[in-house]
Structure 1
Amino acid sequence: MPSEGDENYLTTAEVARRLQVKPATIYAYVSRGLLTSVRARGRRGSLFPAAEVERLAARSVEHSGVVERIESELTLIQDDTLYYRSQPAHTLATTSTVEQVAHLLWNSSEARFEVERAGVELARAAMGVVPEGARLTDRLRVAVAVLGAADPLRFDLSAPAVTRAAGKLIRTLVAALPGPAVARTTLGGQLWPKLSDEPPRPEVLDAALILLADHGLAVSTVAARVAASARANLYAVISAGLGALDGQYHGAAPTLAYEFLERAKHDPVKALSDQLRTGEPIPGFGHRIYQHRDPRAEVLLDLLAGHPIVDTVNAVAERTATFPNSDLAIAAVMHAYNFRPDAGDALFALARMIGWTAHALEEYAAPALRFRAMGIYTGQPT
C-alpha cells in the first residue's frame, strides 16, 4: 500500500491540479475505469498512479486540441470576402462552371459529373418512397442512402475513387429529382426545370451552387468531417452532413427567408415591423462571420438586377442596420422565378455536397478517429 509522498502516486488535490478538473470528476474517472484509486497508508483519502494520470492528461490535451482547431486548405473568409483555395468565390461564381469549382476544391481533375440510367432510376425509385408532399431534401437523403447501398466500391477511400463517386452522385441526384429532364447542360441548367417552370437562367443556379459549395467549418461540415474521420464512406459522409443540415438553425434558413420575403413583397414596412415585434432576428439579414456585407448575396442580387424583388430587398435593407445574406439572396431568386417553396433547402444541400466531399478528402488524409472528445461525467456518483 503506497503512502503519501510516494513519487509514483498523486493525491486527489494533485490530480485535480494536473488535470484541471474538480475532485468529483476524478472519482468519475475512477468509476469509468480511466484511473485506479488506492488507499493511502496511515491516512484517509486516495492516491492515484502518476503514470495513469499523465496518460489521461495527454489524452485530454490531444483530444481537446484537435476538436477545437481543424486545419484546412479549402476555404478562407477574410475582410468580408470568401475564397476557395485563395481564389475569390464571387469571381468564380461568374467565370467558372460548377464542375471546375468542384475540381478546385477537390484538388482533382479526374472527377466527372456523369450519370448512368440505372443509377437515376434507382434514385428516382428511392425518392418515390417518401410520402407525397415531402420536401426535396427528404428525397435527397433517402436517395443518397440507397445509392450508397448499391455501390459495391463505396469503401474505396482513395481520392480518385471519392471524387468520381461524388461527381456521379451529385449529377444523379439532380437528374432523379421530380420534374422534366433536359439535354446535357450545366448542373444549374439541369436543376432549373426541377425547381421552376419559368424560362431558365442556368447561370443564376450555377452561381448559387458555386457560392454555397463551402463555407468553412459550418456545423454540417463538422458533422461530415467527424464521419470521414471514422473512415465512413462518401455516401455516409454526405448523409451525416444532410442530417446536420436538416436542423432549424442551419439548412432551414433559406426557407425562413423565403417566407419573410413573401410577406415583404406585399408590404415591406409591415413585414419588418411584424418581425421586429417578435424579438427574433430578421430572416435573411446579418451574419455571424461577415461584418458589413455577404459577398455571396451581392453576386446573386446583381444577377437579379432590374427585377422587382430586388426593390423589396432594398426596401427592407434600407430600414435595418444589417445587410442581406445568402439566405435572403436565394429566397429572392426563388421569388423572382417562382421556384417551389422547398427549393432553397435543396439547392443548399446539393451545393454543400461539393464542400463536404472536399472536407472528407482532407479527413481521409488525416489520422483516423481524431475527434474523440473527452467526456466529463457530471451525474450522481455510483
Structure 2
Amino acid sequence: MSVMNDESGESGESGGRRIDTREAARLLGVKPATVYAYVSRGQLTSRRDPVGRSSSFDAREVEALAARSRREAAGPPGGAASASAGELSVRTALTLIESGRYYFRGVDAVELASRYRYEEVAEWLWTGTLVSGARFTAPPESLAAARRAVAALPEHSGPIDRLRVAVAAAAVADPLRFDLSKPSVLGSARSLIPTLVGALPEVGPAQWGGDGRLSRQLWPRLSALDPDPDALAVLDLALALLTDHDLAASTLAVRVAASARAHPYAVVSAGLGALEGPLHGAAGRLAHRMLVEVLERGGAAPVVAEYLRAGRRVPGLGHRLYEAEDPRATALFARLEPLAQAGPALGAARQVAAVMARHGGGLYPNVDLALAVLTVSCGMAPEAGETVFAVARTAGWIAHALEEYEERPLRMRPSGQYHGPRPPQPLP
C-alpha cells in the first residue's frame, strides 16, 4: 500500500487521492489543529504512515466536508427548514437539539433527568405523560429465557453481545411481540428493559436491588463496590440523560427496522447492532482507558500527546451537535463533583480537556468522558459505559419505533446512486 507523507499527494491502493494536514486545512479554510478537531468529532478520518510521523486524509472526504460546511454557512434556500442535500430528514416530536441544549417533548432534558428517575423520563418520552414512581418489572419466563441464553455465551463476551442475545431470547418468550399497537409495544418495553438488566451477570452482591428501581438493579451488574446513595443517583441521572438524543446512527437503524414493521424486540436488536460499531458505542470504553492511563502516568499531557502523534481521536471530547460542552457531560460532572471517590478521575478528565484547549482544537468534553469518570471512580470495567448507554437508549429506541409505526410503511427506502459499469456488460 502506498501511503503519503506530509509533503506528497500519492494515492493508496483504493485509488483515492490522499492529502496532508496542511492541504486539508487549506481546503476547509481552518487551522491545522482544527482538522484534528474534525477527526475527534468523527467528521473526518485520518491515516498514519508506517513510520508514525504524519497523517493523511482522503481528498474526497475533505472536499465533501468543505462543501457541506459551505452549505450550512449559507443556510437553506429561502430560509426554509430543509435538510442538506443527501441527508435524510425524519419528522419527530421526541427530541430537539438546539442552541447547545436538548429537549424531550419540548421540556429541557437535563432539568427533566435531574428531577425524575430514568423510568419516569422513559414514560414521558413514550407517552408525553409523567408517571410518578414508575417501575419496570421483568416477566419471570422472559427473564429466565434471557438468563439461560446469556449464560451459554463464552466468558469473554462483551456487554452488547449479552444484550443482543438477551433481546432475542426475550422476543421468543413473548408470543404477543407481533402486536404493534401502542399498548402492546409499551407493555413489551416495560418488561424488556428490566429483562436486559436482569440477564447481565452480576459482578457484585445483589442485595441492593430490592426497591425495583432500575439503577439499583443495574449497579451490581457494573460494580462490585457497595453503592452509596450519591453514586447511585449519578447512575440514575446518566440513564435518564442518555434516554434519547435525536437520530444517532443506532436510532436511525431502529427507525428503518420499524418502517419495515419489525416488532419492538427486533428494532432494539437493530439499535444494538449499530451501537456495536466502533464509531458509536465504543467511545465510553476508550475514554475509560484513557483516564486510567492519565491517572497511572500522573498527568494528561503525555497521554494526549501520544494520541495526537498517532493521529488518533482523543476520546471523550467533541460532539458534532454542540459547539461547547455537551450538556449531558455538564450535568454529570456537576453531580460527580461532591463524590469523594470521583475526585481523581474528575481531575484527570479536566486535565485532558485543558491540554486539548491549549492545543487549540476547539473541543469540549462530551458525555462519554463524563461516563468514564463515573465508571473509573466506581470500580467499573471499561465496557460499563457501553452497558449504561445501551440500557438507557433502549427506551429512546422504543419511542422512535412507536413514532415510526404511525408513519407510512417502508418509507425508509432511499434510492441508490449507481456508480458501476453501465450495461450491457459481457457475461462473466
TM-score w.r.t. structure 2 length?
0.72
- The aligned residue for residue 271 of structure 1 is 303
- The aligned residue for residue 274 of structure 2 is 244
Alignment counterpart, residue 351 of structure 2, candidates 303, 315, 319: 315
CA distance in 2, matches of 1:276, 1:242: 30
Sequence identity (%)? 47
Alignment counterpart, residue 382 of structure 2, candidates 335, 341, 362: 341
CA distance in 2, matches of 1:328, 1:133: 25
Secondary structure in structure 2 of the residue aligned to 1:320? helix
Deviations 1:166-224 (Å, cap 9, x if unpaired)?
11100111122111432123211111111002221321111111111111001100000
* Residues 195 and 339, structure 1, Cα contact 8 Å, conserved in 2: yes
Alignment counterpart, residue 170 of structure 1, candidates 189, 193, 200: 193
- The aligned residue for residue 395 of structure 2 is 354
CA distance in 2, matches of 1:250, 1:362: 23
- The aligned residue for residue 100 of structure 2 is 80
Alignment of 1:12-161 (within 5 A): 68-107=88-127, 113-161=136-184
CA distance in 2, matches of 1:78, 1:240: 27
- The aligned residue for residue 332 of structure 1 is 373
- The aligned residue for residue 194 of structure 1 is 221
* Residues 284 and 369, structure 2, Cα contact 8 Å, conserved in 1: yes
CA apart distance, 1:280? 2.0
* Residues 212 and 348, structure 1, Cα contact 8 Å, conserved in 2: yes
CA apart distance, 1:286? 1.0
CA apart distance, 1:245? 0.5
Secondary structure in structure 2 of the residue aligned to 1:330? helix
Is residue 2:234 matched to residue 1:234?
A: no
Alignment of 1:284-323 (within 5 A): 284-306=316-338, 307-321=343-357, 322-323=363-364
* Residues 66 and 370, structure 1, Cα contact 8 Å, conserved in 2: no
* Residues 67 and 371, structure 1, Cα contact 8 Å, conserved in 2: no
Q: Would the alpha carbon gap of residues 376 and 313 (structure 1) be closer, same or farther in structure 2, given more than 3 Å must change?
A: closer
CA distance in 2, matches of 1:236, 1:370: 18
CA apart distance, 1:66? 11
Q: Which amino acid aligns with 1:101?
A: V
CA apart distance, 1:379? 2.1
Q: Which amino acid aligns with 2:366?
A: N
Q: Would the alpha carbon gap of residues 198 and 365 (structure 1) be closer, same or farther in structure 2, given more than 3 Å must change?
A: same
Computed over aligned residues only, the root mean square deviation of the Cα atoms, in angstroms, reads 1.8
CA distance in 2, matches of 1:82, 1:142: 32
Q: Which amino acid aligns with 1:347?
A: V
CA distance in 2, matches of 1:253, 1:66: 27
Deviations 1:213-243 (Å, cap 9, x if unpaired)?
1110011000000000000000000000000
Q: Which amino acid aligns with 2:95?
A: T
CA distance in 1, matches of 2:352, 2:415: 46
CA apart distance, 1:273? 1.3
Query: How many equivalent residue pairs?
Result: 319
Structure 1 consecutive aligned stretches of length 4 or more whose deviation exceeds 6 Å: 64-67
* Residues 290 and 315, structure 2, Cα contact 8 Å, conserved in 1: yes
CA apart distance, 1:120? 1.6
CA distance in 2, matches of 1:173, 1:106: 19
CA apart distance, 1:65? 9.6
CA distance in 2, matches of 1:185, 1:223: 31
CA apart distance, 1:108? 5.8
CA distance in 2, matches of 1:293, 1:125: 42
CA distance in 1, matches of 2:87, 2:170: 31
Of 110-119 and 233-242, more deviation after overlay is shown by 110-119
